[in-house]
Copies of this chain bind each other. A is one copy, B any other.
Amino acid sequence: MNLKERDKKFRQAFDKETQKIDKRLSNLLVGRKPGSLYDPCEYVLRSGGKHLRGYLVLLTTKAVGGKYSQSYNAALSVEILHSFTLVHDDIMDNADKRRGLPALHVKYDIDTAILAGDSLIAVAYKNLLKDCKNNIVDILSTFNQSVIDVCEGQSLDKEFEEKRNVTIPEYIEMINKKTGALIKMCCSIGAKIGDAEKGHIKALEKYGYNLGLAFQLKDDLLDIIGDTKHFGKNVGGDLIEGKKTYMLLKALELADKKDKIELNKIIRNSGIKKSEINKYKELYEKYGVFDIASEEIKKYTDHAIKALEIIPDSIEKEKLIWVANLMSERNK
């Protein structure tokens, strides 16, 4: 089988499993009462998404010798937990849209979104508990720590809004907690449910850690060079909101005095006008920050793949490598 054929096969397998996850999520809370709580939850769980996190749980379980069926509920669980973070983050970030649809607090209201998010946490634990047969405290602690990390990451993100000078290492720490922790956790619990040996758990956690960073940097990059149709959000949204992304921080690091003043306006004015996006895009290009970001994404992707070396060869290991490359090359 040549590489192109293999990629096609892997893409089919990915689509098949994530569609299955999507279907199970969509049906999970149908008809539950009270409707004022579960209808909004259902709205979120039916709103699609890549389901990469759930797929990582399945792949890592199988990569260490387990079966998909051992971690299916855990796969749902991480997707539900991820949904919770989106719902509450969208309130805090004043985000109107999510996956091309109105955000939950826009569709309903803030109170409903707070409560729906809360119950999604509990629904996530409920599903995870179904797949806890061994290493129970370890699996739950890992899951729980990622909730703590996500909250810390979101808090740092909010702190950065007020902070004038954010360094790139600080930024990396923030996205590692806000996005990376959950992806790392997926790989960790997948491996632990599959009863992996310690070294393999560590390797898969390292894979997840690096994948998470690559994933978030790619997200930052797509926010400005992606197209609306593919990306599902408005291009340049981070600039409009004055977010301190990797690109902005890197550009600030490299820019001359004059350009630095321009770039600092993004921060000082808490964002720019839509009409100014191209001006800043050109500034970013001038200092090559898109290329630098792409190199960073490649670096983390390579680290992720390298971490898998000690995992015994298998089709799932190949799929994990494929996922890492897919994430770093995606355009949405």
Q: What would 5 more interface pairs be, CB under 8 Å, given A88-B114, A132-B137, A140-B140?
A: A91-B111, A115-B154, A122-B144, A129-B140, A136-B137
Name the B residues within 8 Å of A117 (CB-CB): 114, 118
Name the B residues within 8 Å of A136 (CB-CB): 132, 136-137
Is A321 an interface position by the 8 A CB rule?
A: no
Is A235 an interface position by the 8 A CB rule?
A: no
A266 to chain B, nearest CB (A): 21
Is A110 an interface position by the 8 A CB rule?
A: yes
Q: Can you name the residue of chain B whose Cβ is closest to the Cβ of A159?
A: B36
Question: Within the assembled complex, what's the spacing in Å between the Cα atoms of A86 and B56?
Answer: 35
Q: A19-27, A59-67, A145-153, A193-201: which one contacts chain B?
A: A145-153
Is A47 an interface position by the 8 A CB rule?
A: no
Q: Are B158 and A36 in contact (CB under 8 A)?
A: yes
5 A-B contacts (beta carbon < 8 Å): A34-B156, A37-B155, A110-B110, A126-B144, A136-B137
0/1 interface trace, chain A 84-112, chain B, CB 8 Å (1 if under)? 00001001100000000000000000111
Residues of A in contact with B, size category: 35 or more
Is A264 an interface position by the 8 A CB rule?
A: no
Q: Are A37 and B151 in contact (CB under 8 A)?
A: yes
Is A234 an interface position by the 8 A CB rule?
A: no
Residue of A112, A151, A154 with most chain B CB atoms under a 10 A cut-off: A151
Take A111-B92, A158-B36 as given contacts and tell me if A151 and B122 are in contact as well, using a CB distance cutoff of 8 Å: yes
0/1 interface trace, chain A 22-57, chain B, CB 8 Å (1 if under)? 000000000000101100000000000000000000
A93 to chain B, nearest CB (A): 9
- Chain A residues in the interface with B (C-beta under 8 A): 34, 36-37, 88, 91-92, 110-112, 114-115, 117-119, 121-123, 125-126, 129, 132, 136-137, 140-141, 144-145, 147-148, 151-152, 154-156, 158-159
A41 to chain B, nearest CB (A): 9
Q: Are A148 and B129 in contact (CB under 8 A)?
A: no
Take A111-B92, A158-B36 as given contacts and tell me if A137 and B147 are in contact as well, using a CB distance cutoff of 8 Å: no
Q: Can you name the residue of chain B whose Cβ is closest to the Cβ of A141?
A: B129
Q: Are B110 and A88 in contact (CB under 8 A)?
A: no
Q: Can you name the residue of chain B whose Cβ is closest to the Cβ of A92?
A: B111
Name the contact of A137 in the complex, choosing from B118, B129, B155 (C-beta under 8 A): B129
Name the contact of A37 in the complex, choosing from B34, B37, B152 (C-beta under 8 A): B152
A161 to chain B, nearest CB (A): 10
Name the B residues within 8 Å of A112 (CB-CB): 158
Question: Within the assembled complex, what's the spacing in Å between the Cα atoms of A141 and B145?
Answer: 18
Question: Within the assembled complex, what's the spacing in Å between the Cα atoms of A115 and B34?
Answer: 24
A88 to chain B, nearest CB (A): 6
A241 to chain B, nearest CB (A): 14
Take A114-B91, A115-B92 as given contacts and tell me if A147 and B122 are in contact as well, using a CB distance cutoff of 8 Å: yes
Name the B residues within 8 Å of A88 (CB-CB): 114-115, 118
Name the B residues within 8 Å of A156 (CB-CB): 34, 36
Name the B residues within 8 Å of A125 (CB-CB): 125, 140, 144, 147
